[in-house]
Structure 1
Amino acid sequence: MDLIDYEILCEEHGHEQYAEMPAQLMEKYAGQVPAELLAIWAQYGLTSHGQGEVWFTNPEDYTEIVQAFFGPERPFLVFARTSFGHLKAILRGPLYTILPQIALAKRGNDLSVFPTLVSSGLISPWSAAHAEHQQALRALGPITSEQMYGYVPMLALGGEGTLEETQVVRVHEYLRLVAQVATQAVREGWDPLGTRPTSEP
């Protein structure tokens, strides 16, 4: 399997392995995730890039979290997450970005663009997300695989998402709490997959 796009990510933003991906889980997800992702897991394990800006993840670690947001009928497979807890996921084919703070999953392209996503979409040096990560990194220091930068208070509780409100938090505990609060705060009738339903005449 040609992993040139992953190698570009590593060359431009560095890489560090923090865990192995269990072989039985790679077998479980064969046919559900791109072959390139299976090859990354097999050859490199679970890695971080860009001084912790992006982390490749074990989907099993996020099953309960995405169910807390979207229920069991939307079985997102989370394959990466950012330092601020944005989740990169697959749902029955298409790619999604899950924005936990507003309990929203934004649909992207289909799986054919996965290699390009890896090389140039996971970390964009000109993006607001990259700038936010760099600011938090300078102010709060690096994070581990069990940590993320989180807003305290979270947006659903009136937070403004500023650097002054950003803290290093435990990723799974924080996202579970965000799921509990944010899903209660979203407006009635809001579709968590990113569109509003058409109102009846």
Structure 2
Amino acid sequence: MDDNFASFLMDFGPAIETRHVPTSSIERYRGKLPDQLLAYWENYGWCGYANGMFWTVNPQDYEPVLDAWIGDTEFMEHDAYHIIARSAFGDLYFWGEKTGNSLRIFAPGSFCTSRKSILIADKMNFGMQVFFGSRYVEDNDFEDMFAPALKKLGRLKHDEMYGFVPALALGSAGTLENLQKVKAVEHLVILSQLEPLEVITSPPP
């Protein structure tokens, strides 16, 4: 285990809802995603961390979400992307085949952060290590709501998230009272239809 992933596991705690990654999925993304990520999949599966606040996911399951959010945008003109992780509240982590860790979307707020990664080409595997090593638990929380949401609504399953009903884009107050357990893929696709995506460009680290 590399130091970055060891640090990630130390901060995010033991995995929950672990699903075995079949060989067919490993081979499907061979040459598209870094071998380092495929090794994580083989060793740890797709699962939730920090009691379900952060999830590694099957990119194939999230293709409808990717298409809904960036399928008709300039992002797809420059690279091929895959969603590799998400948060309990709908933070989506995209990995570009050429641009690496370059795009993150917060679906409930309909905005994305685009950045230029310096860890590309032959540095992609290290870039994946850094991606996990630079995660912070609190960055995946929303207004410190995870703990009370977990207590009120219970632990998420691998295909669920905490969603605001009605959505923030429809005027919902971002409060615990308006949170529900929802099916992640379906809810994320619906959110993409409610408000245009705002792009925020940030400098490389």
Q: Which TM-score applies when normalising by structure 1?
A: 0.80
Counterpart CA distance in 1 for 2:131 and 2:110 is: 22
The superposition leaves residues 171-199 of structure 1 with CA deviations (integer Å, 9 ceiling, x where unpaired) of: 112112112223xxx3xxx6x5435xxxx
1:93 aligned to 2:99? yes
* 1:146-157 equivalent positions in 2, closer than 5 A: 146-157=159-170
Residues 1:137 and 1:41: Cα distance change in structure 2 (over 3 Å): same
Q: Is the 8 A contact 1:124 1:130 kept in 2?
A: no
User: RCO higher in 1 or 2 (8 Å CA, sep ≥ 6)?
Assistant: 2
Residues 1:167 and 1:104: Cα distance change in structure 2 (over 3 Å): same
Partner of 1:3: 2
The offset of 1:131, in angstroms, is 2.4
Partner of 1:118: 132
Q: Is the 8 A contact 1:53 1:130 kept in 2?
A: no
Counterpart CA distance in 2 for 1:146 and 1:28 is: 21
The offset of 1:128, in angstroms, is 5.2
The superposition leaves residues 131-183 of structure 1 with CA deviations (integer Å, 9 ceiling, x where unpaired) of: 2222311222211112110011101111122111111111112112112223x
Q: Is the 8 A contact 2:89 2:141 kept in 1?
A: no
Q: Which TM-score applies when normalising by structure 2?
A: 0.79
Counterpart CA distance in 1 for 2:145 and 2:64 is: 27
The offset of 1:130, in angstroms, is 7.8
Counterpart CA distance in 2 for 1:134 and 1:79 is: 24
1:159 aligned to 2:172? yes
Residues 1:108 and 1:14: Cα distance change in structure 2 (over 3 Å): farther
Counterpart CA distance in 1 for 2:17 and 2:168 is: 32
Counterpart CA distance in 2 for 1:130 and 1:54 is: 15
Partner of 1:23: 23
- Letter of the 2:173 counterpart: E
Q: Is the 8 A contact 1:150 1:168 kept in 2?
A: yes
Partner of 1:82: 87
- Alignment size in residue pairs: 186
Residues 1:17 and 1:130: Cα distance change in structure 2 (over 3 Å): farther
Partner of 1:71: 71
Residues 1:148 and 1:100: Cα distance change in structure 2 (over 3 Å): same
Q: Is the 8 A contact 2:16 2:52 kept in 1?
A: no
Partner of 1:35: 35
Partner of 2:123: none
Partner of 1:198: none
- Letter of the 1:62 counterpart: Y
Partner of 1:105: 112
Counterpart CA distance in 2 for 1:17 and 1:167 is: 19
The superposition leaves residues 97-143 of structure 1 with CA deviations (integer Å, 9 ceiling, x where unpaired) of: 1111233321245245432331341x334775482222311222211
Counterpart CA distance in 2 for 1:127 and 1:178 is: 18
More strand per residue: 2
Unaligned stretches of 5+ residues in structure 1: 196-201
Residues 1:114 and 1:146: Cα distance change in structure 2 (over 3 Å): same
The superposition leaves residues 39-82 of structure 1 with CA deviations (integer Å, 9 ceiling, x where unpaired) of: 10111111211000111001001111111122166243011111
